[in-house]
Structure 1
Amino acid sequence: MKKVIISVTNDLTTDQRVDKVARSLIGAGFSVLLLGVHSKPSIGLSDRPYAFHRFNMIFKKGFFFYFEFNVRLFLFLITNHSSIYLSNDLDTLCANFLASKLKNVRLIYDSHELFSELPELLNRPFVKSVWIYIEKQLLKRIKYSYTVSESIASYYYDKYGVNMSVISNFPNFRLSQDPLISQKHKIIIYQGAINKDRGIKLMIDAMKYIDAKLYIVGGGYLLEDMIHYTQKNKLIDKIVFFGKLPFSDLFQITKKANLGLSFEEDTCLAYRYSLPNKIFDYIHAEIPILVSDLPEFKKVIHSHPVGEILQSRDIKSVANQINQMLSYEKSKWYPYLIAAKKDLCWENQETKLLSLFY
């Protein structure tokens, strides 16, 4: 049985893409070991069908975190047998690349995002240049790679001549709920990272003019700031922060909502070309979406009319558009959501994924 070691720099609890890939590999007869980092507080992983190991890191962020992680990952890889290494994002690639050359092991690279173009690097030119250098030196030397969107694949081809496959980050198909169920309060949901340029502040500001609840589910370095901002604006009765949740709990909350939001700002290439899994989680929970005017988002709306593109980032305009969407019956969107679920599901991506591992 071939063994695949999958590595990421998160704590494994909320990375649905890595979990789906691991489960697909298990289903195809591979042995899987998933490597990540241990964070506090951390959610248990007792329900996973694959082996996993999380490093207890000395450093928690910055250069020393990435250096420590890659050193520990490299040592782990060269001292443990594997037939294939799966590196997730640029921050795991150095260790995987070196170990694959040393041990003559197949390396596969999954680019979840344009790591070197993240907003956190916009005002850090030296740090950004280091990541770009790593990207430039290594990507052209990797035979097997894939990413989440056509825009990112095109970017890498234009910049480095790299032909990446596209494995979209769709959820597994599952039934959700009766679309005609009525609820006492309208619920709006945002799920994902509470980080820079995700549009969280805009959502909070818009709630001043919306008679509904906003559920914000996820963690991030701006979480406490957004909680304080909500309290400062006396909106704590309208906005609920859930923090990080396991996949199953997240879906149970999402499917109760009336509208899903994704307000990434066009401040960097990483966001401009992004295709976050949350919008597909909303679709699979059978709720309409309101998303930013970004290329990959527009492709989804144009091919599947399951929601709307944000018309303006003016606070009152956003509130008006949300109020208008909340006034519609769920039955307006239901046929389109069901059709989109059948098309935009992980089962339709598995064949492409597994072809890279055989």
Structure 2
Amino acid sequence: MAACRWLPALAEPIYWSMAHNRAMAACACDIKADLFVANDWSTLPIACRLAETHRARFVYDSHEYAVEEGADRWTWRLLVSPFVRAIETRFIKDAAAVFTVGDRIAAMMQSDHGLRTAPLVVRNTVPLVESPFRPCGDIVEVLYQGLIRADRGLETLIRSVPLWRQEFRLRLRGPGEPAIVDHLKALAATLAADRIVFDPPVPPSDMVAAANRSDVGIHPIPPISNQSRYCLPNKFFEYAMAGLALCVSDSDEMTALLRRHALGHVIDADTPHAIAEAINSFDRPGIDAAKRRAIEASRHLCWENERAHLISAFAALGDG
């Protein structure tokens, strides 16, 4: 894979040398369609092969900046990133359309692969739910809801909790590798056992309702790469749909939306003190005001509006 940095043509034979890729292609080979959708870079060659087999077309839906999706690990940057870039470059120009989740990632993909037009932006919004407004109580709960992973800034988040004002508590909800979850639980027990709670994940259909029971939604992802610097994750929209105030890292896309709708505060740096400063800048009236604005903004930041871009793109392909 690393050799793809100098010999990109190696990427395709390497891809098909992997048994799971051949198995996926074999499972799909008899499915006839007018249009195939490659869900992220790992299915690009399969979608292209299916389109060629059935004289159809395919589109590429990239949910992140693929060449940096594992940028927190040096081994991934060294070994896998050249392979991913080569796969994208080989197949992306054959796609009838390309989608991604944010404007900055679209611009980078266009530059990386010399695309004539930037990918269409279809943001990871969630279906509209009428969440009730729930004012703050004596305890103000800060929620992280999502994957429990080493690259999400959760250790730094937990280390910040002793610096929070006493009314704030932290709840972490989501799935994760047992070793990482156990490490974070042990750290939380050492630093602030009475102020940090871990919840198991809930089904995707219940995430907004579960989040509505909290007050502030936090996403402290460290801006270590373009992938994280320009991320616009679905949890941003889940928090807004749940009627929460937001506290997020200074990602260009998240920061712009947060400030446009006055949804909360931005974390200025990847340190416990910076996270604590952002949390402590909230007060109850400010949180309640941001919650009301989130409920209002969610009527615009929802899938019912966003899907129009996708439907229009598919309609244009049908007309072609």
Task: Give the TM-score, by structure 2 length.
Answer: 0.84
Matched with 2:49 is 98
Residue equivalent to 2:160: 206
Is the 8 Å Cα contact of residues 57 and 95 (structure 2) preserved in structure 1?
no
Equivalent pair of 1:187/1:215 in contact (CA under 8 Å): yes
Q: CA deviation at 1:155?
A: 0.6
Does residue 79 of the first structure (1) align with residue 79 of the second (2)? no
**Which residue, out of 174, 180, 183, partners 1:225?**
183
Moved more, 127-136 or 310-319: 310-319
- Correspondence 1:49-128 to 2 at 5 A: 67-118=18-69, 119-124=71-76, 125-128=78-81
1:127-152 superposed Cα distances (whole Å, 9 cap, x missing partner): 22111111111112212111100011
Change (3 A) 1:246 1:282: same
Aligned residues with identical type, % of pairs: 24
Distance in 2, matches of 1:167 and 1:250, equals 21
1:206 counterpart letter in structure 2: S
Q: Structure 1 residues 189, 139: closer, same or farther in 2, change over 3 A?
A: same
Q: Would you say the 8 A contact 1:85–1:100 is kept in 2?
A: yes
Q: Does 1:145 align with 2:98?
A: yes
Structure 1 residue runs of 4 or more that deviate by more than 6 Å after TM superposition? none
CA deviation map 1:327-358 (0-9, x unaligned):
43543224422331122111111221112333
CA distance in 2, matches of 1:334, 1:144: 37
Check if 1:132 corresponds to 2:85.
Answer: yes
Partners of 2:46 and 2:64 in 1: how far apart?
19
Instruction: Return the offset for 1:96.
Output: 1.6
Post-superposition offset of 1:117: 0.6
- Alpha-carbon offset, residue 194 of structure 1: 1.8
Between the aligned partners of 1:192 and 1:201, the Cα distance in structure 2 is 14
- Letter paired with 1:89: D
Shift of 1:256: 0.9
Cα distance in structure 2, aligned partners of 1:234 and 1:319? 14
* Superposed displacement of residue 109, structure 1: 1.3
> Contact 2:148–2:154 (CA<8 Å) still a contact in 1?
yes
1:216-259 Cα deviation digits (max 9, x unpaired): 1222333333223323x243332222233202332222101110
TM-score, normalization by structure 1: 0.76
- SS across alignment from 2:198: strand
Runs (5+) with no aligned partner, structure 1: 1-62
Match of 1:156 in 2: 109
**In 2, Cα distance between the equivalents of 1:130 and 1:84?**
26
Structure 2 Cα separation of the partners of residues 224 and 115 of structure 1: 29
SS in 2 for 1:220: coil
Moved more, 234-243 or 195-204: 234-243
Q: Which residue, 149, 161, 167 being the options, matches 1:195?
A: 149
